[in-house]
Chain A
Amino acid sequence: MLTTFSELVEQKQPETATNRETSAKPPATKIETKDLSFFYGANQALFDVTMAIPEKSVTAFIGPSGCGKSTFLRTINRMNDIIDGAHLTGQVLIAKEDIYAANVDVVELRKRVGMVFQKSTPFPKSIFDNIAYGPKIAGMRKKSMLAEIVERSLKRAALWDEVKDRLQDSALALSGGQQQRLCIARALATDPEILLMDEPASALDPVSTARIEDLVFELKQEYTIVIVTHNMQQAARISDRSAFFLQGRLIEVGPTKQIFTNPNEKQTEDYITGRFG
């Protein structure tokens, strides 16, 4: 089992090599959490998570379902604010700024921290209106500018060629994989610095999954990407760093290769070799 994964990591060796070149200077930390605990009412979902996520890289959160990885992801753009009775202790810093400070504007935060959900969530509107939604609500009115953003976002999400002739069609008519790429394009349209992805390919077929993974690999040139996945092969294929969660605790975080081939913790090894989870 272990060998399979090391092989997997070996396969993407050339990619990591290029990655290493670019990261000749140590990458700056983009997201940082300090002693982050999270509660749903009386239930504690996260326990003292401290972690640093470097910019312009892909970080994968892995772990069995219910381990808190999605909850942790959602603290980064404060999506958990919507849930009644939820609260947290500790700090989440983005670019050294505490995003839970009293004077933080959640709307501003979310504009700069994009998110893609497990289930694709196209709005029941046209493809164009879906992409233009973010810029529009941010106050952009100019038609030509919006059209440009839509085109650029769709191109970045590798969807442009498939939909350029039917931008006014309903987004609900797209296939599952296309819908998910639409959601990525929509998130890119607000020009975020960070892209959070909550199991973005879990509901997709292998071909669509591969396209999403390629896309993630492309996007990390410009964005800091955090991806939650229950698929370890996927984590191994696309991430630079991996973090393993278990029962609300961060067990281990480090370069993906090391996590998958030579983990420090026994629990990580047990999970990766498939002894549980």
Chain B
Amino acid sequence: MSSTAKSFQETLAARHRKGWWFEWLCLGSTLFGIAVLVVLLSGIVWQAFGWLDWQFLSSYDSRFPEKAGILAALWGSVWLILLTALISIPIGVGAALYLEEYAKANWLTRIIQVNLSNLAGVPSIVYGILGLTAFVRMFGLIRVPPAIVVISLGFTTVEIPLPGLPFDRTVMSGALTLSLLILPVVIVASQEALRAIPSSLRDASYALGATEWQTIRHQVLPAALPGILTGVILALSRAIGETAPLVMIGALTYLAFTPGGIEGPGDILADPQSLVRAPFDSFTALPLQIFNWVSRPEPAYQHVAAAGILVLLVLLLTMNATAIFIRHRFRSRTRW
């Protein structure tokens, strides 16, 4: 009896030691991620030091590392994200609304739902191939030359340039591809936000004789908006860093102009039509430009790439911070 008690005491001590080691192993693994992040960020800052300056932000790419800049890529990314948001938000939120508010639990709903989780797992490069074939080349089937529509308003005439088909390697092709890519994420995030709205709110609205759309428009959507916005911004911040699909689309990586020639608000005022031209212009984007610099053999371009990465990361962190801000601000305000 006493000997088993003693051996129990001994093994207990050993068990506690093992437990201590295990806890440190797990903590170490967790800290590893943080350590990598610190090394990565400080390494990039170190490499970019002295290279990220106003000249870098305001110049186009160049054969000389010292003169290389990110202007075209920055504007390309801005246009890309703008268009992607315009395309993916209505479709994604619409799909989520259908699935959560209208759809009955039938085979079609199940197929859509299963399909969504499978789409979320498709490698981004496959979306690139889809974009290349469907938007850039349009299967080689459709060919419409660009045209200009002239609308006469009596006192003046407005010329609207219509893009030709296929879209070719334009911002539009890129935005459509990225939209398809992030659509599953937008839909699932919006669905979660909608599901968090208590059904009592819908019941109360229906009981007052509201139609389905009135209930959605006046009650459900406003209540779910913060959650939806958070999800959408996170999805867009994923889109802004996507490289592979844009490489597939074959977006040019050496460009000495911005989409539509817009380099600032002044250009839009001077030539409003450039807003219509920009989506159908060639483009490059931040991750593409970075990839391009990384692939160059001259060592100096690694510093240029690091500077580009810093710009991209700042943009990303701004978007993430916005999402977190929205989440916190509205979480505390609404109670049911």
Contacts and interface: CB of A to CB of B under 8 A. Distances in A.
A binds B: yes
Interface of A: 77, 79, 82, 84-85, 107-112, 114-115, 117, 119, 121, 123-124, 133-134, 137-138, 172, 183, 186-187, 189-190
Interface stretch (B150-158, B210-218, B270-278): B210-218
A121 B209 contact: no
Interface string B315-336: 0000000000000000000110
A134 B206 CA distance: 10
A121 B204 contact: yes
B201 A121 contact: yes
A119 B207 contact: no
B66 interface: no
A172 B201 CA distance: 13
B200 A119 contact: yes
Contacts of B292: none
Interface in B257-298: none
- At the interface, is chain A mostly helix, strand, loop or mixed? helix
B202 A82 contact: yes
Contacts of B201: 121, 123
A183 B204 contact: yes
A112 B205 CA distance: 14
A134 to B, nearest CB: 4
B118 to A, nearest CB: 24
Contact of A107 (B200, B211, B222): B211
B200 A117 contact: yes
Contacts of B23: none
- At the interface, is chain B mostly helix, strand, loop or mixed? helix
Nearest to B335: A172
B208 A82 contact: no
Interface of B: 104-105, 200-211, 214, 218-219, 222-223, 334-335
A79 B335 contact: no
Contact of A77 (B207, B223, B335): B207
A110 B335 contact: no
B267 to A, nearest CB: 42
5 smallest CB-CB distances across A and B, nearest first, come from: A111-B209, A115-B207, A121-B204, A134-B208, A110-B209
Q: Which of A109, A123, A134 has the most CB of B within 10 A?
A: A123
Contact of B207 (A84, A138, A172, A187): A187
A273 to B, nearest CB: 35
B227 to A, nearest CB: 14
B104 A82 contact: no
A112 B207 CA distance: 9
B207 A137 contact: no
A190 B104 contact: no
A7 to B, nearest CB: 36
Given A117-B204, A137-B214, A172-B335, A123 B209 contact: no
B335 A107 contact: no
A4 to B, nearest CB: 35
Contacts of B334: 124
Nearest to B104: A84
Contacts of A134: 208-210
A132 to B, nearest CB: 11
A109 B104 CA distance: 22
Nearest to B223: A124
Contacts of B206: 79, 82, 110
Given A124-B223, A172-B335, A137 B203 contact: no
Given A121-B200, A124-B223, A138 B105 contact: no
Nearest to B207: A115
Contacts of B205: 123, 133
Contact of A137 (B202, B204, B211, B335): B211
B219 A114 contact: no
Given A84-B105, A133-B218, A114 B207 contact: yes
Nearest to B204: A121
A107 B208 CA distance: 8
A27 to B, nearest CB: 25
Contacts of A111: 208-209
Contact of B203 (A79, A124, A138): A79
Nearest to A84: B105
B330 to A, nearest CB: 11
Given A79-B203, A110-B210, 16 more contacts: A79-B207, A82-B203, A82-B206, A85-B105, A109-B209, A110-B206, A119-B200, A121-B203, A123-B201, A133-B210, A133-B218, A134-B208, A134-B209, A137-B209, A183-B204, A187-B208
Contacts of A115: 207
25 contacts: A82-B202, A82-B206, A107-B209, A109-B209, A110-B206, A110-B207, A110-B209, A110-B210, A111-B208, A114-B208, A115-B207, A121-B201, A121-B203, A123-B201, A123-B204, A123-B218, A123-B219, A124-B223, A133-B208, A134-B209, A134-B210, A137-B208, A137-B209, A138-B209, A187-B207
Contacts of B223: 124
Contacts of A85: 105
A110 B200 CA distance: 16
A189 B246 CA distance: 56
Contact of B210 (A77, A117, A137, A172): A137
Nearest to B219: A123
Contacts of A84: 104-105
A57 B203 CA distance: 25
Q: Which of B204, B211, B222 has the most CB of A within 10 A?
A: B204
A186 B203 contact: no
Q: Which of B206, B211, B214 has the most CB of A within 10 A?
A: B206
Given A111-B208, A124-B334, A137 B218 contact: yes
